[in-house]
């Protein structure tokens, strides 16, 4: 059979005929940066290759679902071995126990774990659990945080003020967000006894990277305790990434419930929510709060997750943080050297890029950075130089364990070139 020659453009054209926007998750369609997405043929370590054979140093890394680099031999072997034994049964398996034990051991306070298949399911289920356990309806979220695409959490807010949720998407009934209160990030609100839970990204990583200000998480903990509300950390990005015990460990603030995803599936569809025993025991079959999943605890996904976690020891976290620190300093230096105003916050292995004159602490400031309109040219400039960052101004960079010093040097050099070009054409 003759090998068909495909190009990014031809595939994108075909894709748009059979898939809305040509993609299965909107950001991949490049709508906010323009141009044609690259279709990935394969990845290895810090790199991906598109269907035209072009190589990119990859900082997308599946938006964080890949932390050890693409196609790590230990992960590939674990998945192959698991697949040969059958990929789903609808009966419990040993690896589900091993993974829950591993997650619980790394996160003090996460006594029990329920595995699901996406971060969206994890947050949706954690909120249901919080409502069921407290007998209250109201949920507090923060503007600029992302908690997946369930109706109740797709609420938009006003500009930097506290508002009752308005649907952030067509198709979300106003009733679904009428109990969702949207507040500005990094300001501790005064809660009332109507609140079932406060759900927060303890380090916000879906409006660029916005670390919590001093006292923010501690203040949320105290307010929740004062009114009997539950504190839910959405650690779908930060969990098992910023430290062994995630952001809860870094900041020394323990929530009642956690949501995990991305890292723990080792690149396969797997997520989890976890928490105190007395809360988790209110889930079916022990308690009245229903939650279920045909593919939950999937054998391939748990095998991949266990393989990745076995690689994430203290040395790995130190290496990841060192990589991000070097990269951030290099990017900031290269941009400023070219006369481009930039902020490059770092949190463990995560870094963000804002075109802003001072540190960004909330969604308003993040939106102002995006409104400079610099990001699309920045991103495309890097892509032309073989460096892939996400096609959206609100995404963060995900350097992996596979990124080498040589990779970082190449990246910083490319950033310097792009920054000069941006300043020259302004």
Q: Which of 201, 362, 395, 407 binds ligand PLP (CB under 6 A)?
A: 201
Q: Which of 57, 110, 129, 236 binds ligand PLP (CB under 6 A)?
A: 236
Look up 262 and say whether it is catalytic: yes
- What's the min distance (Å) between Cβ of 190 and ligand PLP? 25
Among residues 50, 58, 234, 256, the one annotated as catalytic is 234
Quick check: 296 binds ligand PLP (CB under 6 A)?
Answer: no
Quick check: 261 binds ligand PLP (CB under 6 A)?
Answer: yes
The answer to whether 111 and 263 are in contact (CB under 8 A) is: no
- Of 201 and 223, nearer to ligand PLP (C-beta) is 201
Q: Which of 206, 343, 369, 411 binds ligand PLP (CB under 6 A)?
A: 206
Can you read off the two tokens belonging to residue 151?
Answer: 């109706």
- What's the min distance (Å) between Cβ of 73 and ligand PLP? 25
**CB contact set of 351 (below 8 Å; sequence gap of 6+):** 209, 324, 327, 328, 331, 344, 345, 396, 397, 399
- Of 26 and 86, nearer to ligand PLP (C-beta) is 26
Quick check: 202 binds ligand PLP (CB under 6 A)?
Answer: no
Among residues 50, 185, 262, 317, the one annotated as catalytic is 262
Among residues 38, 56, 59, 146, the one annotated as catalytic is 146
Phi first, then psi, for residue 78 (nearest 5°) are: -65, -40
Look up 146 and say whether it is catalytic: yes
**CB contact set of 88 (below 8 Å; sequence gap of 6+):** 294, 295, 298, 299
Can you read off the two tokens belonging to residue 286?
Answer: 């022990």
Q: Which of 124, 197, 229, 237 binds ligand PLP (CB under 6 A)?
A: 237
The answer to whether 317 and 324 are in contact (CB under 8 A) is: no
Residue tagged 């990929």 (tokens) = 87
- What's the min distance (Å) between Cβ of 62 and ligand PLP? 10
Q: Give the residue nearest to ligand PLP (CB).
A: 119
Quick check: 120 binds ligand PLP (CB under 6 A)?
Answer: yes
108-116, 166-174, 230-238, 312-320 -> range binding ligand PLP (CB under 6 A): 230-238
| Cα(330)–Cα(286) distance, integer angstroms | 52
Q: Which of 38, 142, 146, 354 binds ligand PLP (CB under 6 A)?
A: 146
Look up 234 and say whether it is catalytic: yes
In DSSP notation, 377-388 reads HHHHHHHHTTEE
Query: What sign results for the dihedral spanned by CA atoms 175, 286, 121, 59?
Result: positive
- Which are the catalytic amino acids? 146, 234, 262
User: Would you tell me which residues interact with ligand PLP (CB under 6 A)?
Assistant: 118-120, 123, 146-148, 201, 206, 234, 236-237, 261, 271
């Amino acid at each position: 059979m003759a090998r068909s020659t495909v190009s990014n453009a031809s595939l994108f054209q075909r894709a748009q005929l059979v898939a809305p926007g040509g993609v299965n998750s909107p950001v991949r369609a490049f709508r906010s940066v323009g141009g044609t997405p690259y279709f990935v043929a394969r990845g290895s370590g810090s790199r991906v290759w598109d269907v035209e054979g072009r190589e990119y140093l990859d900082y997308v890394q599946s938006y964080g679902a890949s932390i050890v680099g693409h196609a790590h031999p230990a992960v590939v072997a674990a998945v192959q071995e698991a697949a040969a034994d059958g990929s789903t049964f609808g009966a419990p398996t040993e690896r589900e126990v091993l993974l829950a034990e591993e997650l619980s051991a790394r996160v003090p306070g996460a006594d029990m774990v329920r595995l699901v298949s996406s971060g969206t399911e994890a947050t949706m289920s954690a909120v249901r659990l919080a409502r069921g356990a407290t007998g209250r309806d109201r949920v507090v979220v923060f503007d600029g945080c992302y908690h997946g695409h369930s109706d109740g959490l797709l609420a938009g807010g006003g500009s930097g003020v506290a508002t009752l949720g308005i649907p952030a998407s067509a198709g979300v009934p106003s009733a679904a967000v009428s109990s969702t209160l949207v507040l500005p990030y990094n300001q501790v609100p005064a809660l009332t006894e109507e609140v079932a839970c406060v759900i927060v990204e303890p380090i916000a990583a879906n409006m660029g990277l916005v670390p919590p200000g001093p006292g923010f998480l501690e203040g949320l903990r105290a307010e929740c305790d004062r009114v009997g509300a539950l504190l839910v950390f959405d650690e779908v990005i930060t969990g098992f990434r910023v430290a062994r015990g995630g952001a809860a460990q870094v900041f020394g603030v323990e929530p009642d419930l956690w949501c995990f995803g991305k890292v723990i599936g080792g690149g396969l569809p797997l997520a989890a929510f976890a928490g105190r025993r007395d809360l988790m025991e209110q889930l079916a079959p022990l308690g009245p709060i229903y939650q279920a999943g045909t593919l939950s605890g999937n054998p391939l996904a748990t095998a991949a997750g266990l393989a990745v976690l076995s690689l994430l020891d203290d040395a790995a976290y130190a290496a990841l943080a060192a990589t991000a620190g070097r990269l951030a300093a290099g990017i900031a230096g290269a941009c400023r050297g070219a006369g481009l105003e930039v902020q490059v916050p770092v949190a463990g292995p995560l870094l963000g890029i804002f075109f802003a004159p001072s540190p960004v602490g909330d969604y308003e400031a993040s939106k102002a950075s995006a409104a400079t309109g610099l990001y699309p040219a920045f991103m495309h400039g890097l892509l032309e130089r073989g460096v892939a960052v996400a096609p959206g101004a609100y995404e963060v960079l995900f350097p992996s364990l596979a990124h080498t010093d040589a990779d970082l040097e190449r990246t910083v050099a490319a950033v310097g070139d792009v920054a000069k070009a941006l300043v020259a054409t302004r």
